[in-house]
Amino acid sequence: MSFFKKLRDRMFRSSDKLGEGLDALVADPGPAPEPETPGLIGRMFGAGDDPRRVLDDALLENLEDLLIRSDMGADTAVRVTANIAEGRFGKRISSAELRTALAAEIARIMEPVARPLPIFGHKPQVVLVVGVNGSGKTTTIGKLASQFKAAGKSVVIAAGDTFRAAAVEQLQVWGQRAGVPVLTAPEGSDPASLAFDALTRARADGADLLLIDTAGRCRTAPT
């Protein structure tokens, strides 16, 4: 199974803000629909217990807004919602069905450009993860560590965001889950010094991969 098929299957399983937003969209009924009476099979298996809402212009507009507020680009959000509406517009949809459709559409967009992270012969391979605040660096590092550990690779993580205690704690949780060592330093200490120590440790351990987290950059700050 490809990485993005796994992504599609796993997406939105956790109770994240996007998932909660989708639940809220479907839970808001909008205009009162005509009452429905489930048949015998539906009553036996609980049909009607899962809230459903007509996929109309209002729901699509709210979905588009939710995706943009979840950091999806505006053009992509418009394309995703339009593709989800195709063949479903005017039909009643549940939150689970909306999640599945959204996950499949995102995977469809990403899969053609997906490239695996190669591991070269030189050990350790160092990956320094940088980006703007809130873009998912720490979470991505945790997921990469888990994925490569499961593939039989030796991984070391350096919690280089020494200015945010929550980032260190988050990486420690990921490290415990994956069985990967996480090197830390006191809050506010020099992240470059930690990176050097982590590289020394990774070399001594013969690690295949060293993942280094960094503090988030503000998108409006001068470079």
Question: Would you state the pLDDT for residue 40?
Answer: 41
- For the residues 193-211, what does the mean pLDDT come to? 94
Whether the pLDDT of residue 160 is over 70: the answer is: yes
Question: Domain of 197: which CATH number?
Answer: 3.40.50.300
Give the separation between CA 124 and CA 107, rounded to whole angstroms: 30
Domain boundary among 113, 139, 172: 113
Count of domains for the chain = 2
Is 93 part of a structural domain of the chain? yes
Which run of H or E residues covers position 92? Answer: strand 92-94
Q: 83 or 219: which carries more pLDDT confidence?
A: 83
Of 108 and 119, the one with more pLDDT: 108
**Peptide bond preceding 124: is omega within 30 degrees of 0, i.e. cis?**
yes
Per-residue confidence (pLDDT) for residue 36, from 0 to 100: 46
Higher-pLDDT residue of 220 and 171 is 171
Beta strand pairing call for 92-94 and 52-54: antiparallel
* Same domain (yes/no): 129, 191: yes
Q: What is the average per-residue pLDDT within 185-203?
A: 93
Quote the CA–CA distance of 213 and 131 in Å, as a whole number.
Answer: 10
Question: What is residue 132's predicted lDDT score, i.e. its pLDDT?
Answer: 83
**Mean of pLDDT values over 86-102:** 92
Query: 3-state class of 53 per DSSP?
Result: strand
Residue 173's domain spans which residues? 125-212
Is there a contact between 57 and 78 (Cβ–Cβ < 8 Å)? no
pLDDT in the model for residue 113: 85
Q: 74 and 175 in one domain?
A: no
Task: Give me the pLDDT at residue 194, please.
Answer: 94
